Amino acid sequence: MWREHKKLWKKRTVAAFVVAGLLLNLFLILRSEYGRDRWTEATVSCYRSVYREIKNMQPEKAKRYLEKKSNNQNVDYLRRIGYSELQDETSHAGSYDDYLDAREQDYSQSEVFDAFRKTSKYDRKDAAKVMEKLRRFRGKTLAVVPSRGWHIIFLFFQTDIAGLMVLFAAAAISFMQEKERGEYVFIRTMKRGRGPFILQKAVALMMFTAEVLLLLYLENILVAWRLYGLGDLHACLQSVSGFIGTGVKAELGQSIVLFLGLKLLAYFLVMLVILFLMTVCGTHRSCLSALQGSLG
């Protein structure tokens, strides 16, 4: 297992692709954040500065402060954009009960659901399940956290582009070099049998995939922290604008662990599929043709 794992990292080309993936991910994040239209969205420095002004305030006090600042014509226009953006993000901050009351009212009005589909009883069942999840937050208080930073961690899917590039390169290099030596990943004959070898190879690939995943998302977390800050890690995920109403009852720290675990599973399955296609197709060219054919 360790031998197969070391073989991947000893390949200079693989290490070079990992570095390239990290640089590509960093470039995409910075391009996305610094490429915002400054006349409609707060700049990075403005957003960060405004959040620092309110991060130690209670939610209700922060909302009043932001409303006052965003309506003050003596404040610079670009600065007011920042106050207005944070005001929108903190509109649900404070007591979660107010948000729940509004959802309960919508749920109680059956005609709201009848207007969408004829099978309203199924809509009611789905709505009932959603409300059952949301009621668990009764009595919760939503903190004020910088949603931009958490969006970089959870919703910046360009990171997956860099990750898939690294995994594809590692699988291709590993396959082609073993093929040159007459060793096929899934059909190689070993003294102890193919089963143990396949298991060792799979575990080594999982370790490599986990390392690539952690490097990429650790980079996301560091960039998000440096650009905007992360706020209170013990705050509920519902405190982040864009996640309110998702029904996930977890703290931000717990959410990161859950998110990375699911990502690792997805990355590992993708790695196995890529390697399997390369093995079955025989050459990387025919593998690319097969992938292109499957994508239409």
Return d(Cα 163, Cα 184) in angstroms, integer. 24
Asked if 135 and 151 sit in the same domain, the reply is no
Asked if 133 and 176 sit in the same domain, the reply is no
Give the DSSP H or E segment for 274. Answer: helix 252-281
The pTM of the full predicted model, rounded to 2 decimals, is 0.79
Are residues 226 and 147 in contact, defined by beta-carbon separation less than 8 angstroms? no
Instruction: Classify residue 90 by its DSSP letter.
Output: T
Domain housing 131: 94-142
Return d(Cα 221, Cα 213) in angstroms, integer. 12
List, as one string, the DSSP characters of 186-234: TT---TT-HHHHHHHHHHHHHHHHHHHHHHHHHHHHHHHHHHT----TT
Asked if 21 and 133 sit in the same domain, the reply is no
Q: Are strands 141-142 and 94-95 parallel, antiparallel or unpaired?
A: antiparallel
pLDDT tens digit at each of 296 positions of the chain: 556 666 666 677 888 888 999 999 999 999 999 999 888 899 999 999 999 999 888 888 998 999 999 999 899 998 999 999 999 888 878 888 888 888 888 777 755 555 555 555 556 677 788 888 888 888 888 888 999 999 999 999 999 999 988 888 887 777 676 665 555 554 455 555 555 666 777 777 788 888 899 999 999 999 999 999 998 899 999 889 888 888 888 899 999 999 999 999 998 888 888 777 766 665 445 555 554 554 55
In a domain, 52, yes or no: no
Task: Kindly tell me the number of DSSP H helices and DSSP E strands found in the chain.
Answer: 13, 2
Return d(Cα 92, Cα 137) in angstroms, integer. 13
Q: Tell me the Ramachandran region of residue 58: left when phi exceeds 0, alpha when psi lies from -120 to 50, beta otherwise.
A: beta
In a domain, 83, yes or no: no
**Across the chain, which distance is largest between two alpha carbons, in Å?**
80
Asked if 22 and 161 sit in the same domain, the reply is yes
In a domain, 183, yes or no: yes
